[in-house]
Structure 1
């Protein structure tokens, strides 16, 4: 089977999302929901939490390390996500959440995690194999939306209703002008990603995609932090370009004050204003924009966006260290 290019995987994001929104699941009786994962698998949990936190009556927590808090118990629904199914930290999360009596759901394309879920009789949701893990988020977000429906927060119709507009937005991105403009602004710069209004997951996704796909340095910071005079020193060099994610860009808003600060420091910036009243459209459109921009930046510098050998080497070293314990 031919491997899909990075652009083909980006194009398929919405199809993957749509195809995973109608899973037939049981209802889950729980007090809280913990979305567990590392790296690209974890970002799907962060995106889902940002979308659902304003609607869910149950506490949603994202966990990115194998240290399971004591409050996770038999009243906790723990969703363990790992595309490969072999990420050692995520396997540890599964083992420890199981030991504490949590209800477990596993999302994976295979590997050891799939084997463990099948052996233990836990609910298993499988993702299409053969993808780059960070491009599997369409499936994972769709699966998580289905899980949230069966914990009492049903936004499936809102997701489905957003897809036509998101497809139009994707088509605009593939025409290139907006992506070309952003990639030009960020070329040879350190990117500071400034966020507010539930857009933390968007900034985190941009950071990972700019570093993994584009091979550029990127950082994240809440817009509210810019009120601290010490933070202003972070903007005191000319290799920086800021990207601001905000719904309100008025003069007295956090974004407006950030723009004043950046102007005073002669730092370039782009403002990406939320285009809709729908949080689903706002978050997913900005995710797509960052993904396409990062791949364009990789191509412009002759880099392979799929080549992430430093991450693979680090994973290997971490696995060796953790297995030695």
Structure 2
């Protein structure tokens, strides 16, 4: 396969924005008539998503999006199969809760285990996958199935396509009756909006932040709005593409605990702060105070650098995907500075050979 950073750069420059216009690359013919009728009839008051890695990230983005449009549908996400400790039993057992098991490959073990554990609820389970073992189980047990049918997916790094996944789910959920308004035009317009939203100044800031983040511990902080959706995805990009460690935390929690580690660090630390105009006066003043403390010209700040990213675009969708483009370019520049070779640790640690380089190469040459 071509080197991941080469593929990543090509994706960013040629495919990232166009992905928002490809909202039709899915198939819901496998959704049962009974489940579709319940969704369109407003039977469900909650959705619970379960998935791992990128499959969970898309669910988190959809959850925050639903909150941003004040939809009455309550959304939960858990990233495991031992849901008894992650989701209230009353939520899982409620007949008005739709459960979506998401796995792009269909071979991740956790959603498969969740599938079996949730067998009493199969009549209100929707499988979201491109196929694999999860797809086979859906067909075998007659469980509703929605399939991703992306035309040009990057097999090793599904996180490339979060923008397209998001666009597809907005279109899919409208057709299934889980959204009462068509937000597709706004999502598809991102292909043009990002040309102005992702300004040359933001690209320059990303390049500068990448230089200042070399050989650093990367710490991302933001409000709850951004912590679960944007920062979770950004962390995956830092980990999987640049292959550098990164952490994320809630802004107020960080100020009450983790900030102590920056008192006089021996190692370099790169702090990325994401904020938006919806912050209240207390939060904004507290953030300004934190930045002033960490950028003061004193010896203890010698190994600390701070980058502020103001998400001032007019809608949540434009804020989210402008910030994601900023992160992606920062990751690209940082990854090039290190050029770390992958050991396929993700597929091996997760026990999912579908993502492994040797599996992909064998299928491509077979």
TM-score, normalised by the number of residues in structure 1: 0.84
Judge conservation of contact 1:106–1:123 (CA < 8 Å) in 2. Answer: yes
- Establish whether residue 138 from structure 1 lines up as the match of residue 158 from structure 2: no
Distance 1:272 1:81 in 2: 31
Say if 1:13 and 1:80 are closer, same or farther in 2 by CA, change over 3 A: farther
Describe the SS at the equivalent of 1:244: strand
Higher share of residues assigned helix? 2
- Establish whether residue 258 from structure 1 lines up as the match of residue 290 from structure 2: yes
Judge conservation of contact 1:35–1:45 (CA < 8 Å) in 2. Answer: yes
Judge conservation of contact 1:242–1:269 (CA < 8 Å) in 2. Answer: yes
Distance 1:81 1:261 in 2: 43
Cα-to-partner distance string for 1:26-75 (whole Å, 9 max, x where unaligned): 56131101122101211111112122213221211011110234322432
Say if 1:125 and 1:258 are closer, same or farther in 2 by CA, change over 3 A: farther
Distance 1:315 1:285 in 2: 30
Distance 2:130 2:195 in 1: 26
Choose the corresponding residue for 1:190, options 203, 211, 217: 217
In structure 2, runs of 5+ residues without a counterpart are: 29-35, 354-366
Cα-to-partner distance string for 1:284-304 (whole Å, 9 max, x where unaligned): 111122122212211222235
TM-aligned CA deviation for residue 272 of structure 1? 0.3
Judge conservation of contact 2:50–2:77 (CA < 8 Å) in 1. Answer: yes
Judge conservation of contact 1:107–1:127 (CA < 8 Å) in 2. Answer: no
Report the equivalent of 1:56: 71
Report the equivalent of 2:47: 33
Q: Structure 1 stretch 191-200 or stretch 159-168: which is displaced more? A: 159-168
Distance 1:272 1:156 in 2: 27
User: Looking at CA atoms only, which structure, 1 or 2, has the larger radius of gyration?
Assistant: 2
TM-aligned CA deviation for residue 159 of structure 1? 1.7
Judge conservation of contact 2:127–2:135 (CA < 8 Å) in 1. Answer: yes
Describe the SS at the equivalent of 1:213: helix
Report the equivalent of 1:243: 272
Residues matched between the structures, number: 314
Q: How does 1:33-112 map to 2 (within 5 A)?
A: 33-54=47-68, 55-68=70-83, 69=87, 70=89, 71-73=91-93, 74-101=95-122, 103-112=124-133
Describe the SS at the equivalent of 1:134: helix
Choose the corresponding residue for 1:122, options 141, 144, 159: 144
Say if 1:110 and 1:278 are closer, same or farther in 2 by CA, change over 3 A: same
Report the equivalent of 1:323: none
Judge conservation of contact 2:238–2:244 (CA < 8 Å) in 1. Answer: yes
Say if 1:65 and 1:197 are closer, same or farther in 2 by CA, change over 3 A: closer
RMSD over aligned Cα atoms: 3.0
Distance 1:212 1:183 in 2: 16
In structure 1, runs of 5+ residues without a counterpart are: 319-325
Q: Structure 1 stretch 6-15 or stretch 193-202: which is displaced more? A: 6-15
